[in-house]
Chains A and B, each alone.
Chain A
Amino acid sequence: MARSAFSISAALIVAGLIIGPVTAVLWRGGGFTALSAADVSALKFTIWQAFWSALISVVLAIPVARALARRAFWGRSALISVMGAPFILPVIVAILGLLAVFGGNGMLNLLLSPLGLPRLEIYGAQGVILAHVFFNLPLAVRLILQGWLAVPSERFRVAASLGAPVFWLLEWPMLRRVVPGAFAVIFVICLGSFAVALTLGGGPRATTVELAIYQAFKFDFDLSKAASLAVVQLCLGLGAGGLALFLSRGDLLGAGFDRVVQRWDGSKVLDAVCIGFAALFLLAPLVAVAIAGVTGLIDLPSSVWGAAVRSLMIALGAIVLTMTLALPLATKAGEAASLLGISVSGLVLGTGLFLIVQPFVRPSSVALPVTMVVNVLMALPFVLRILRPGIEAARADFGRLGQSLGLSGFALWRIVYLPRVRRPMGFAAGLTGALAMGDLGVITLFSRPGEGTLPLMMYDLMGRYQMDAAYGAALVLVVLSLGVFWVFDKGGRAHAVV
């Protein structure tokens, strides 16, 4: 059957793109240089920071999620939407925002110093954890909020009429079910942290394994060391990814947060404080970037536009390639295969691809295509999670009708399936584009100066302390990322008949 032939080729391509680089890394790291003391401390730091980032995110998320679950207020749904934003917000932009609030000359230090309080230092382990909490607190809130909203409201009514302790009766069992999964997902995400560690960490006490790979590669050009570290990261990712898959049940991107459970307990003041602090913590950095970005626009070097065009090309290429692979892979087996990609970090894939192409071409000349391919592999699991239900529904509802009309292969997709999944496809394409647009990962390994993407250029500007220009570039990047997301998401919705 044509469909299975396509599925199999797509699966083979994806598996090859993951297994090929991993094999290259394993083969090259085969000598397995014993880990140095610095490598071991990088491994320890990676696990340590991921543990604390996940723990703090989850602990802070519980009261916020509870407050959102039981309070209806003006702007509630907007706030929950904003909580989805860090997912598509370029990491480097968020870091600039955090610098504006928590940095050496940030707002918080300006407030603290007149009071004679010690200055906050954002660079180092605390900064890495702070940034991870910034990114993952919203995710934790959404996951735990889903758990809260899944408790039938009748049970709260029964508990209220009995005067029973709501927490022990209803909330504790739910939290025990949901929180470990949320913790595991965030733990895994933080294990693979690169851009945050690159910008806020570093040094002997705040280097992650991913960052160590980059350093071995970029500064020492010690490929076998980079490869051994990549093997370490691979084991970390696969182990933790398996754990997360086992523990997590929630739907990361799910909708349906509109409901507010009517409750008869809890303090309104406490809930307001929780929501207020969470909103301030999440929104202040974003607002700071927007304000500093507008004034920074005049300082933008003209090379920004070349970088913006390269980033856009990567985003659009990643969208086309991801969708082409995702449609035939939208089966249970395909989704499982693509999950491989999530456990294998971008830098490991990048290292492997570098090792593969190095004998044939100058790696820097393929920096952009490699960045695109790695982004495709990273986006696929999310895209499949989004597309599969729609395609399966279309198959269940109209598969037989299509068959009885003799529709098959491309015609079946064009006439039956694609129109049925326009909306999720638009959303998934927008997500892919925004993620690829903002990615600051594998490009750092390959690129030559002046040929990088917009996020890389921002990183360079930060390194040269041209902060105003960096903020200006951040604004351009945010507008383009959100713009790409918006265009595709809207495109999917327009004229969609469902």
Chain B
Amino acid sequence: MLWCKDAEFSQGAYSLSAGLQIEAGKVTAVIGPSGAGKSTLLGGIAGFVPQTRGALYWKGVDITTFAPAKRPVSMLFQDNNLFPHLSVMQNVALALGPKLKPGATDRKRVEQMLGLVGLDGMADRKPAELSGGQQSRAALARALLQDRDVMLMDEPFSALGPGLKAEMLDLSVALAKEAGRTVVMVTHDPSDAARVADSIIGVSPNKAWPPIATQSFLSDPPAAFVDYLG
């Protein structure tokens, strides 16, 4: 269980309070109006946004003061998930350590993972030589290869067309579940949540609410989200 205990994450003048628990091994969507703080919540969990109050626990361990790389968290960002100057192999292999020339074992692991996300034979390409969907797959491969319990997704597929976006979402969630990951995903589209999420965290300005089962959130939304869901 990921537990934000009376937490507050602050970035400049903006702050977001969050007292909530996210169940391990499940898919939790984060929805709410733009600018409310969905990304701030993920940034806070990942350790990029300073935590100014409360504590953060993962399976009972206090990770509040952990540096981003020390947290049990991998992250798919909205953009810039791949280094443009590195090949797909190098980009994905960074999940295994800060090396630009992965050894034979690491290469094998990367290639297996690339196969899993549907990027067979693409290892030597640069990101610019991939389509948008393929770039997302490479980023997903790296996030899965990172041996971290929680996978955070900050709308990494928002630049893709609707069909491709749904496909990537299904693939990510399927592979993450198979690997036993806990997924927390930001989306501005309730149908994404309906599609893959077990529960939903609503974020209204300055406050992230405890998760509610997806069906009941969407059919009977809390007062703060009635206007947003329309």
Contacts and interface: CB of A to CB of B under 8 A. Distances in A.
A408 interface: yes
Chain B interface extent, by class = 20 to 34
Given A398-B80, A497-B128, A406 B69 contact: yes
Contacts of A397: 80
Contacts of B77: 400-401
Nearest to B139: A401
B83 A419 contact: yes
Contacts of B81: 401
Contacts of B100: 414-415
Contacts of B75: 400, 404
19 contacts: A403-B47, A403-B68, A404-B75, A405-B69, A405-B94, A405-B95, A405-B98, A407-B94, A408-B69, A412-B98, A415-B94, A415-B98, A415-B100, A416-B83, A419-B85, A420-B85, A497-B84, A497-B126, A498-B84
Contacts of A333: none
Interface in B42-69: 46-48, 67-69
A487 B74 CA distance: 41
Interface string A385-423: 000000000000110110111111001101110011000
A205 B128 CA distance: 63
Given A400-B68, A400-B77, 9 more contacts: A400-B75, A403-B69, A404-B69, A406-B98, A414-B100, A415-B83, A415-B94, A415-B98, A497-B84
B85 A403 contact: no
Interface in B154-196: none
B73 interface: yes
Interface string A94-126: 000000000000000000000000000000000
A497 B70 CA distance: 30
Contacts of B95: 405
Interface string A305-329: 0000000000000000000000000
B38 to A, nearest CB: 16
B98 A401 contact: no
Interface in B76-98: 77, 80-81, 83-86, 94-95, 98
Contacts of A411: 98
Contacts of A498: 84-85
Contacts of B146: 405
Interface residues of A, number: 20
A401 B69 contact: no
* Chain B interface main SS type: loop
Interface of B: 46-48, 67-70, 73-75, 77, 80-81, 83-86, 94-95, 98, 100, 126, 128, 142, 146
Contacts of A416: 83
A404 B80 contact: no
Contact of B74 (A398, A400, A404): A404
Interface string A472-498: 000000000000000000000000111
A403 B67 contact: yes
Contact of B48 (A398, A403, A412, A497): A403
A401 B73 contact: no
Contact of B73 (A398, A404, A412): A404
Contacts of B46: 400, 404
Among B74, B94, B128, the most chain A Cβ lie within 10 Å of the Cβ of B94
B98 A400 contact: no
Contacts of B128: 497
Given A420-B85, A497-B85, A407 B98 contact: yes
A496 B86 CA distance: 11
A411 B86 CA distance: 14
Contacts of A419: 83, 85-86
A114 B19 CA distance: 94
Interface in A71-94: none
A420 B82 CA distance: 13
A402 to B, nearest CB: 9
Nearest to B73: A404
B96 to A, nearest CB: 10
Contacts of A403: 47-48, 67-69
Contacts of A404: 46, 68-69, 73-75
A398 B83 CA distance: 8
Contacts of A497: 84-85, 126, 128
Contacts of B84: 497-498
A403 B142 CA distance: 14
Contacts of B80: 397-398, 401
Q: List the 7 shortest-distance A-B pairs measured between CB atoms, nearest first.
A: A406-B69, A411-B98, A419-B85, A403-B68, A497-B85, A397-B80, A404-B75
Nearest to A398: B80
Contacts of A415: 83, 86, 94, 98, 100
A419 B126 CA distance: 14
A318 B228 CA distance: 60
